[in-house]
């Protein structure tokens, strides 16, 4: 089977072969590698997520801009190189052409990864937390929400960080028609904290139900993503007492120091990590791996369902 990609994209060999034989694939973002985590945790996490997906019987495709191409899948040495690039750009929807024009490497955000993965025919994607509506005074709404409303994929995450305005983020997702599925939970997971009391649109408890839901959603003609939100493993969660003061302090400091735009999310994450003595990062690593496992299961399940339909 010939798989065509638009100009500027290129497949890793393994991912191309997987596409050709219709094997289950899971896309992974790379902003978490270039901007979200420090070295060396960024590289070990990227490898652990890939391994978690393989263990479920699916093939990982980490997406990034490297060597002048939008890469769908990275080899081991390429992943190492990306993780060691200090000046990689953060690539959301409007930044692809900038990175290609300037010939700079970049880590793709949730929005950027969804865009590229969809172009490459990948339907399942694992990440940590999505961007959302920020709490600070001025308007700052992540492009992730826009991408979720327009790109039909299953996105597995741990909800969103409570450094964001979560009620506003959920209202926005409702407005633009994105189903928010709680995986084994009736309330919205809050990233490194346990789920709070904000409702999801539906609770589902198995990968098979998630695949059935997504196939139904898209068969109806819906174009939006299906956002699957899985709570952080409870042993690794940050208590509300630990998380909230750190998040509030980080938000105050961001305002005082005039930090905004693309730099805001990495700043808030970095400060919360310092203020919680690294505990937030351990929770972050745990939930990322956990999401990779679930995405692998969903991709494998989707492959079975497709074969039964064919
Ligand atoms: N959450 C994390 N680590 C991250 C991000 C979110 O724990 O690195 C990244 C994701 O790539 C997400 C992006 O898509 O931050 C959102 O950035 P912004 O708010 O600038 O859209
Ligand atoms: Mn923003």
Note the pLDDT tens digit of each residue in 153-179. 999 999 998 889 999 999 999 999 999
> What is the CA(2)–ligand 2 centre distance, in A?
38
1 in a structural domain: no
CATH of the domain at 272: 3.40.1790.10
237 in a structural domain: yes
Protein residue with its CA nearest to atom 3 in ligand 1: 36
> What is the CA(296)–ligand 2 centre distance, in A?
29
3 in a structural domain: no
Question: What range defines the domain where residue 270 resides?
Answer: 9-305
The first and second tokens of residue 100, run together, are 């290609």
> What is the CA(20)–ligand 1 centre distance, in A?
31
107 in a structural domain: yes
2 in a structural domain: no
pLDDT at 309: 64
Q: Which residues form ligand 1's pocket by a CB distance below 6 Å?
A: 29, 31-32, 35-36, 92, 109-110, 128-129, 131, 142-144, 262, 265, 269, 284
> Would residue 29 show up in a list of annotated catalytic residues for this protein?
yes
**pLDDT tens per residue, range 186-227:** 999 999 998 999 999 999 999 999 999 999 999 999 999 999
Protein residue with its CA nearest to atom 21 in ligand 1: 142
224 in a structural domain: yes
The first and second tokens of residue 66, run together, are 């490297």
Residues 6+ apart with CB under 8 A from 185: 195, 200, 203, 229, 230, 231
> Would residue 104 show up in a list of annotated catalytic residues for this protein?
no
The first and second tokens of residue 309, run together, are 């339909």
**pLDDT tens per residue, range 57-106:** 999 999 999 999 999 999 999 999 999 998 999 999 999 999 999 999 99
203 in a structural domain: yes
Residues 6+ apart with CB under 8 A from 206: none
310 in a structural domain: no
Please, what sign has the CA dihedral across residues 15, 298, 121, 93? negative
Is residue 137 pLDDT above 80, yes or no?
A: no
Name the strand (E) or helix (H) holding 296.
helix 279-309
Could you tell which of 36, 126, 262, 266 is best to mutate to test the pocket of ligand 1, judged by most ligand atoms within 8 Å of the CB?
A: 36
Q: Provide, rounded to the nearest whole percent, the portion of the chain with pLDDT above 90.
A: 88
Is residue 310 pLDDT above 70, yes or no?
A: no
Total tally of structural domains belonging to the chain = 1
> What is the CA(139)–ligand 2 centre distance, in A?
9
Least confident of 59-68, 141-150, 152-161, 239-248: 239-248
Per the CB < 8 A criterion, the answer to whether 298 and 228 are in contact is: yes
CA distance 30 to 49: 11
Q: Output the CA angle 68-74-76, nearest 5 degrees.
A: 125
């Amino acid at each position: 089977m010939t798989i065509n990609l638009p100009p500027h994209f290129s497949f890793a060999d393994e991912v191309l072969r997987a596409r050709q034989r219709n094997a289950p694939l899971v896309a992974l973002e790379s902003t978490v590698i270039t901007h979200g985590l420090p070295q060396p945790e960024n590289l070990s996490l990227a490898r652990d997520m890939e391994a978690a997906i393989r263990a479920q019987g699916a093939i990982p495709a980490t997406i990034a801009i490297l060597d002048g191409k939008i890469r769908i899948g990275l080899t081991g040495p390429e992943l190492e190189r990306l993780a060691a690039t200090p000046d990689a750009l953060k690539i959301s929807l409007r930044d692809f052409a900038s990175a290609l024009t300037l010939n700079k490497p970049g880590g793709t955000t949730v929005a950027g990864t969804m865009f590229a993965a969809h172009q490459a025919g990948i339907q399942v994607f694992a990440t940590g937390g999505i961007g959302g509506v920020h709490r600070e005074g001025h308007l700052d709404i992540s492009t992730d929400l826009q991408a979720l409303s327009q790109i039909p994929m299953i996105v597995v995450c741990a909800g969103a960080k409570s450094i964001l305005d979560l009620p506003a983020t959920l209202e926005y997702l409702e407005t633009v028609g994105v189903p928010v599925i709680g995986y084994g939970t009736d309330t919205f997971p809050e990233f490194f904290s346990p789920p709070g009391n904000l409702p999801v649109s539906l609770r589902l408890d198995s990968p098979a139900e998630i695949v059935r839901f997504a196939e139904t959603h898209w068969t109806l003609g819906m174009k939006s993503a299906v956002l699957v939100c899985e709570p952080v493993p409870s042993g690794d969660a940050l208590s509300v007492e630990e998380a909230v003061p750190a998040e509030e302090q980080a938000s105050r400091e961001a305002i005082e120091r005039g930090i905004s735009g693309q730099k805001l999310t990495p700043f808030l994450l970095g400060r919360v990590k310092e203020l919680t003595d690294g505990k937030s990062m351990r929770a972050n690593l745990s939930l990322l791996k956990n999401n990779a496992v679930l995405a692998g299961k969903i991709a494998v399940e989707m492959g079975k369902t497709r074969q039964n339909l064919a």
